[in-house]
Amino acid sequence: MQLSQIERRGSLRIRLQERAQIGQPGKDYHNAISYDISESGISVKSYNYIPEKTQVNIILDHKGQSLNLEGEVIWVSGKSGSNQYKIGIKITNPSGELTNIYNYLLRID
């Protein structure tokens, strides 16, 4: 990753593919797969479109333990022809567990 990308994002993104659920408060949750994480966010792949600026809850299944996160959708990109979306989410309830996962992956990467 180039330095300018790290400066723009604020922190390095690390690949993390885990099962997840994503949904809006009070609504149904949908299956997703995490794609990568940073100190302040996560991106997921989902077959369900969620618009930018939407408040979401994410349940990340990391090594058999559920990690509950809250966030705001910052960006969405679609994959042509497959109805699969990649969704960037800024975490609004920072979790020590997410930070621990990020720091661990940063050391072994």
Alpha-carbon span 106 to 45, nearest angstrom? 22
| Integer CA distances (angstroms), 109 to 13, 33, 88, in order | 11, 20, 21
- Read off the pTM: 0.80
Alpha-carbon span 36 to 27, nearest angstrom? 25
**What residues does each domain of the chain span?**
14-108
pLDDT tens string, the chain, 109 residues long: the values are 333 344 445 678 888 899 999 999 889 999 999 999 988 899 999 999 999 999 999 999 988 888 889 999 999 998 656 788 999 999 998 777 777 787 777 776 5
| CATH level 2 (architecture), domain 14-108 | Beta Barrel (2.40)
SS (H, E, C) the chain: CCHHHHHHHCCCCEECCCEEEEECCCCCEEEEEEEEECCCEEEEEECCCCCCCCEEEEEEEECCEEEEEEEEEEEEEEECCCCEEEEEEEECCCCHHHHHHHHHHHHHC
